[in-house]
Amino acid sequence: KTFRLAVIPGDGIGKEVIAAGLQVLDHIAEESGGRFAFEKDTFPWGCEYYLEHGKMMDEDGVEKMKGYDAIYFGAVGFPGVPDHVSLWGLRLAICQGLDQWANVRPIEFLPGVPRRLNHPDVDTLNWVLVRENSEGEYSGIGGRNFAGRGPGKEVAVQSALFTEHGCERIIRFAFELARTRKRKRVLSVTKSNAQQYGMVLWDEVFARVSKEYPDVEAEQGLVDAVAAHFVLRPEELEVVVASNLFADILSDLGSALAGSLGLAPSANLDPERKAPSMFESVHGSAPDIAGQGIANPIGSIASAAMMLSHLGLEEEAEQLNRAIAETTRQGIMTRDIGGTHDTAGVTEAIIRNLAAV
C-alpha cells in the first residue's frame, strides 16, 4: 500500500525536524520490503512564502490537503511576520479547516532524560493531554477598535466559543482514550469559577458524559490549581482534557517537566476520518536555535510514530517509539536535554536502534 503524505515543514527548526522525521519514515518504508511506501508532496508554505506571496499558504491550500492520507507538519512562525498572522494563516487554518477537533499530546518520560520533576514515581508517569482543537479561546471571534475609539482608547474583544457539541465530542474522546490506558482516569480542566458561561457548560457536559463511563475515574479541576497539580501530585494524572488554550499551556508545562519542549509529539485528529489528520511536534519554530542543526528531533519523530499508528501501521509505530527510548537510554541526546549530539546524530541513532528493538 502507498500512503500519500502532505509534508509542510514550515519555518525555522520545523524544516530541520521534518527532514529528520522523513529520513526515519523512509527507512521504515524501505525495511517493510515493499509492504508499504510513502508518496510525499512537500508544500513550501510558511513565513518565507508569506513574505514573497503575501499569504501563508495557497488560497485553496486546505482543499489541497484533502487528497492525502495524513499531513506531516513542522512549525510556523518567524521574526518578520507577526505570530498571529503566521499561526492563523497556516496551522490554525488547516486544523480548523479540516475539523481536526482532537489534539492528542502524549507526554513521554523517556529513559535517560534528566527530568525537571523531582518525584519518586517519575519513571512511571504516563500522561496524555487531550486538547479541544476547534473552538474555545481559539475561535477567532472578536475584533479591534470597537465603537471607533481613538488613539489610546482602543478596546479589543476576544471571545471564547463553547458549543455543547464541541465540548461533548472532545470529552467523550478523552473518556474513550482513558479506557484504553492503565489507570483509567480523566481530569477535566476549566476555570469555570471565573469563566461563567462557556466553561460552566463544559463542566456540565463533563459531569453528564462521565456517568456513561463508570469504569473511568473522573475528576474536575481549575486550571491554576491543575498547573500546581502537575508539579506536586504528578502520579495522579493520566488523561487530561482541556480547552484549546488551557491544554496548549499545560502541554508545554508537561513536556518541560518531562525534560524538554523538544520531546513532545502531537496529533491533530479528525476522529471521524472525514479529512486527513495532521501530525506535528508540540514546539514552535525556535528561531533562537534555527539553522544550527541542534534541534531535538524526538518530538517530530515521535509525531511520525503517531502518524504510523493512525495509518494502521501499529507495529511500526511501537517499534519506532522503542527505538526513541533506546536512543535516550544510551545517552544519545541533543543539548536541550543535556546531551552533546546534534539533530543528525540523534536521528541516525534512532534509525540504527530500529534494528535492535
Of 113, 12, 115, nearest to 346 by C-alpha is 113
Q: How far is the CB of 289 from ligand NAI (least distance, A)?
A: 4
Helices 244-257 and 223-232 meet at what angle, rounded to 10? 20
Q: Is 94 a residue that touches ligand NAI (CB under 6 A)?
A: no
Q: How far is the CB of 287 from ligand NAI (least distance, A)?
A: 6
Q: Mask of contacts with ligand NAI, 310-339, x by CB under 6 A?
A: ------------------------x-x---
Q: Is 301 a residue that touches ligand NAI (CB under 6 A)?
A: no
Q: How far is the CB of 170 from ligand NAI (least distance, A)?
A: 19
Q: How far is the CB of 89 from ligand NAI (least distance, A)?
A: 11
Nearest CB to ligand NAI, comparing residues 67 and 338: 338
Q: How far is the CB of 133 from ligand NAI (least distance, A)?
A: 11
Partner touching 254 among Mg ion, ligand NAI, none, CB below 5 to 8 Å by kind = none
Q: How far is the CB of 252 from ligand NAI (least distance, A)?
A: 8
Helix H, strand E, coil C: the string for the chain is CEEEEEEEEECCHHHHHHHHHHHHHHHHHHHCCCCCEEEEEECCCCHHHHHHHCCCCCCCHHHHHCCCCEEEEEECCCCCCCHHHHHHHHHHHHHHHCCCCEEEEEECCCCCCCCCCCCCCHHHCCEEEEEECCCEEEEEEEECCHHHCCCCCCCCEEEEECCHHHHHHHHHHHHHHHHCCCCCEEEEEECCCCCCCHHHHHHHHHHHHHCCCCCCEEEEEEHHHHHHHHHHCHHHCCEEEECHHHHHHHHHHHHHHCCCHHHCEEEEECCCCCCCEEEEECCCCCCCCCCCCCCCCHHHHHHHHHHHHHCCCHHHHHHHHHHHHHHHHCCCCCHHHCCCCCHHHHHHHHHHHHCCC
Q: Is 87 a residue that touches ligand NAI (CB under 6 A)?
A: yes
Binding-site member from 20, 25, 29, 76 for ligand NAI (CB under 6 A) = 76
The CA angle 230-240-25, to the nearest 5 degrees, is: 100
CA torsion sign for 236, 239, 242, 247 is positive
Q: Is 345 a residue that touches ligand NAI (CB under 6 A)?
A: no
Q: How far is the CB of 85 from ligand NAI (least distance, A)?
A: 10
- How many chain residues touch Mg ion (CB under 5 A)? 1
Stretch that binds ligand NAI, among 69-77, 98-106, 111-119, 221-229 (CB under 6 A): 69-77
Q: Report the C-alpha gap between 60 and 108 in whole angstroms.
A: 36
Q: How far is the CB of 120 from ligand NAI (least distance, A)?
A: 28
Q: Is 248 a residue that touches Mg ion (CB under 5 A)?
A: yes
Q: Report the C-alpha gap between 27 and 111 in whole angstroms.
A: 24
Nearest CB to ligand NAI, comparing residues 254 and 299: 299
Strands 70-75 and 102-107: unpaired
Partner touching 22 among ligand NAI, Mg ion, none, CB below 5 to 8 Å by kind = none
- How many chain residues touch ligand NAI (CB under 6 A)? 23
Stretch that binds ligand NAI, among 1-9, 163-171, 191-199, 282-290 (CB under 6 A): 282-290
Nearest CB to Mg ion, comparing residues 251 and 347: 251
Binding-site member from 295, 301, 308, 317 for ligand NAI (CB under 6 A) = 295
Q: Report the C-alpha gap between 35 and 17 in whole angstroms.
A: 26
Q: Mask of contacts with ligand NAI, 105-134, x by CB under 6 A?
A: ------------------------------
Partner touching 5 among Mg ion, ligand NAI, none, CB below 5 to 8 Å by kind = none
Residues that bind ligand NAI (CB under 6 A): 13, 17, 75-77, 83, 87, 91, 261-262, 280, 283-289, 295-296, 299, 334, 336
Residues that bind Mg ion (CB under 5 A): 248
